[in-house]
A and B are shown apart, each in its own frame.
Chain A
């Protein structure tokens, strides 16, 4: 026998008392249970095939403004016939209308219905109105008007056949507002009746196990309600570390797993460390205002010790002792002192390498950089750069490729190639590209290369330096399945709440 919960029992018994068929409203009144409880119980009972739901059409009728006026004052044809009776059953139409005190606009309506109800006839030649039969005191249409005026509205299907026919009349006379609704009626099924006949006892059930029940051990005598364990509960969103931050953390972890040491430097740098120390000529396009944020306040910073600055200057001008031709221009101190929002983290890397010259050195950063660009779906003015550096006596370009392959494979990116590329401070240079099957296209992951002698010599670095740098956001977009980089910085709570934790 199917198990019934307390509220299901109560609902079933209430419907039984209501004759086996009732609306939710009626059951609410009968049982004293709230609507929502009855709905839930009825649903469960329906699944157990003890109840079924019937849908019933309801036509709710109400008087419109004209209808209300007629209900109050009486129908116009009633006014006219009363006046005619008073005038002795036969009178000129003009006179009758005058006596009836009828509004002009209702006259044609009144005349039409006099004829239709067969109360009087109009002789068109003489314009005399002649009473035909004495009308009943109150017609069905007038009864309905009265009823609706008193109750405000009625359900057409619940009215007597007489009044139901009057609904059609008033509807035709355009005196009604009509609204059709579907009403649900719940009915006990054959199985339901069988179950009732077997007897239903209402035992009180407890939903929540309380401290009181536990302490007093009353739980032993209490019926604990059985739950529908499949019913959905409310959604919970855990407080969360930002999805982009999770990916930053994962990138940092991978570096740490690979034995790299983290470095961190200022966000605002002198052009010297951001560009000059990396052998980027002072007229290099990347240094132009369109690409780099320069500061208006404070405007210029300081330079490191003179010997270092001079070595960099000479290298730019004619190659210094490096064996290079240099860029062949006059290097400017002022240009080097300008303050910029760093365009890459390599500014910190080169500074670090100038102070830590004993190999092996493996350092990294995953940190903020800036580019003076309009914010669009592919660009933001600030973003994070992943940077890794390996310095050791015999490291090679192939070692750099291997290091990168390992790094990106931990993000699930296995189809990676290395194409030749150009950067002012590395040679040989390459870019790592990753194949996106959906786009049938290779996408750049990062730039890479070995620092040029023109970069190393002024800093006093004697060993090969492997370097790579790429956007973290690009990786985050692949990982999070985003097409628009702005979503990463939009801080939509809805998006953060629904984005799953990074499990790479």
Chain B
């Protein structure tokens, strides 16, 4: 999740009043921030990706001022009409079809402001842009380029310019080959015949969206007038990204000015910061949250969340949602705003009056009976992961992998398949506990997974129990007795034990367990080669039973 480090002094400037770090840490959670760290003069907070408008000091201050009641209701943003024009060339429609822009004049960015702006861009690239795929942003020094601008697409080798942080001109394909950002984001354009490019009246390059800006329009603390470009494949993401950025810059003292964006077949004036109007039923909000608020109170709550609200009918409130909010999809989202505005801290917990009777799952109930029997006969329970790998699961047990459930993208090679049996895990437990006193008797009653193409999930979850006994005289008879003690105490009247063969067990000391002529388990003395593989010194006798037939 994205974080923002709020320096107290700087934050207070945005708030327009003084507040201590303790007070910040106390109040910010109630509007949706997680407190990561509280320092001498700063608070580091984490925010949810649905509130990208929290990615700047301006955004946090705007929300906190509302919650504290210092400044409530819809924030007003003026968009002055401007003369800047942006042409969208037909050529971009196949690679990056959308672009919007805005001009922000008379900004005064200090070093902190520049950092703030850069971090804001990063958060927007992640939160709205899905790592620049849906939308990406460029911020430029307007004063070094000339309107009209053109967003076009060109042959990879036809244009050269100096990319950000470099001194030499590079062609577009060289940027994708050599530049760090080029390498990181080439997958977003390199499949196209022509690459997107933003140029000014004279063909000067502002940026190569979504990869890199030009050095020419670099923003510094001396920059006064900004040109914001935002391009992408998802119109809504492009629009919301622009609104978040433009409003934050306005809160930082800038004046927003519109840009005429000319698509081949239509034109728009950007940014359009008109709040969206939605309706909220007061009764719906009260039912969900469990309150009895009047229309007036609901309006107050919404205003604390920086929404505009007015009564438009009996029990109906019209809500104006500011343009920077990306998270309001449905009336229910306004219900949460009412709850936050009211204050989660003020919501008194109640207990639902629903009368129900509890019941547990058969499989878990059975597993608990197995636990009682196995601990009763002196076995200690272990809990292993259900994920493992071929070496530990098969090779060490002298087995060949068969019908494995395999993971496509394991983060660690340790966990690349789902276990089919419990026994290999128990052998590993014995290995890890070699230095502890003997006898060691361990069991596990848990899930294994097998392929079953007849199911919607193509795999099934099976409840197994397995037990190992390890000491100097562990043998077949012992494990057979334990297995039978388990079966008998589970209430089975009849089962058969027949000689069997299995790579993990010693020949002539292996048996299979049958219930109603269905094979449900295996028992025997573990093969000495497996013991060597697990570096065990004592013999091990073991059994494993599939409990699904018994549930």
Contact = CB atoms under 8 A, between A and B. Distances in A.
A404 B30 CA distance: 18
A298 interface: yes
B64 to A, nearest CB: 13
Contact of A322 (B330, B352, B377, B433): B330
Nearest to B359: A261
Contacts of B418: 267-268, 341
Interface stretch (A78-86, A190-198, A413-421): A413-421
Given A252-B364, A256-B358, A450-B288, 6 more contacts: A241-B371, A267-B447, A293-B407, A398-B291, A454-B330, A497-B380
B361 A262 contact: yes
Given A396-B350, A402-B351, A452-B330, A375 B460 contact: no
B143 interface: no
Given A239-B379, A261-B356, A491 B433 contact: yes
A382 B32 contact: no
Contacts of B516: none
Contacts of A262: 358-361, 364
9 contacts: A294-B407, A296-B408, A301-B458, A302-B456, A323-B330, A329-B234, A381-B411, A382-B387, A491-B383
The 5 A-B residue pairs with the shortest CB-CB distance, nearest first, are A396-B290, A422-B48, A360-B354, A398-B290, A402-B349
Nearest to A490: B432
A258 interface: yes
A394 interface: yes
Contacts of A299: 408
A493 B437 CA distance: 9
Contacts of B287: 394, 396, 464
A427 B336 contact: yes
Contacts of B387: 293, 341, 370, 381-382
B344 interface: yes
A261 to B, nearest CB: 5
Given A261-B356, A361-B356, A397-B290, A296 B407 contact: yes
Contacts of B374: 239
A297 B378 contact: no
Contact of B381 (A242, A267, A298): A242
B35 interface: yes
B283 to A, nearest CB: 12
A47 interface: no
Interface string B247-281: 00000000000000000000000000000000000
B162 interface: no
Contacts of B414: 375
Nearest to B448: A267
A304 B456 CA distance: 8
Contact of B358 (A259, A290, A323, A452): A259
A402 B432 contact: no
Contact of A267 (B332, B352, B461): B461
Contacts of A398: 289-291, 347-350
Interface in B438-492: 440-442, 447, 449, 451, 453, 455-461
B404 interface: yes
Contacts of A207: none
Interface in A282-301: 283, 285, 289-290, 293-301
A390 interface: yes
Given A267-B386, A398-B289, A422-B51, A295 B408 contact: yes
A397 to B, nearest CB: 5
Contact of A240 (B368, B381, B408): B381
Given A360-B356, A491-B432, A418 B347 contact: yes
A213 interface: no
A135 interface: no
Contacts of B32: 419-422
Contacts of A491: 382-384, 429, 432-433, 442
B350 A392 contact: no
B336 A428 contact: yes
Interface string A228-272: 000000000011111011000100100111111111101111100
Contacts of A361: 356
Interface in A317-370: 319, 322-326, 328-329, 339, 341, 359-362, 368, 370
B344 A297 contact: no
A260 B415 CA distance: 34
Nearest to A382: B385
A405 interface: yes
Contact of B408 (A294, A375, A399, A430): A294
B219 to A, nearest CB: 28
**How many A residues touch the partner, as a band?**
35 or more
Contacts of B381: 240-242, 245, 496
Interface in A384-399: 390, 392, 394-399
A166 interface: no
A489 interface: yes
A93 to B, nearest CB: 67
Contacts of B498: none
A266 B405 CA distance: 14
A372 B358 CA distance: 33
B350 A399 contact: yes
Contacts of A304: 456
A398 B35 CA distance: 24
Interface residues of B, number: 95
Contacts of B348: 398
A374 interface: yes
A252 to B, nearest CB: 7
B23 interface: no
A406 interface: yes
B436 interface: yes
Nearest to A370: B387
A406 B351 contact: yes
A420 B344 contact: yes
B331 interface: yes
Contacts of B294: none
A397 B289 contact: yes
Contact of B386 (A245, A285, A368): A368
A492 interface: yes
A297 B404 contact: yes
A164 interface: no
Contact of B236 (A301, A328, A406, A454): A328
Nearest to B375: A239
Given A397-B289, A428-B289, A489-B385, A405 B411 contact: no
Contact of B333 (A255, A301, A421, A427): A427
Given A341-B407, A397-B339, A398-B289, A420 B383 contact: no
B412 interface: yes
B352 A422 contact: no
A390 B354 contact: yes
Contacts of B383: 242, 244-245, 488-489, 491
A403 interface: yes
A106 interface: no
Given A453-B330, A493-B433, A241 B412 contact: no
Contacts of A249: 368
Contacts of B358: 255-262, 362
A419 B405 contact: no
Contacts of B345: 417
A401 interface: yes
Contact of A362 (B31, B51, B289, B354): B354
Interface in A431-484: 433, 441-442, 444, 450, 452-454, 464, 466
Given A283-B130, A419-B32, A339 B459 contact: yes
Interface string B116-148: 000000000000001001100000000000000
B340 interface: yes
A345 to B, nearest CB: 12
Contacts of A310: none
A177 interface: no
Given A245-B381, A298-B459, A492 B432 contact: yes
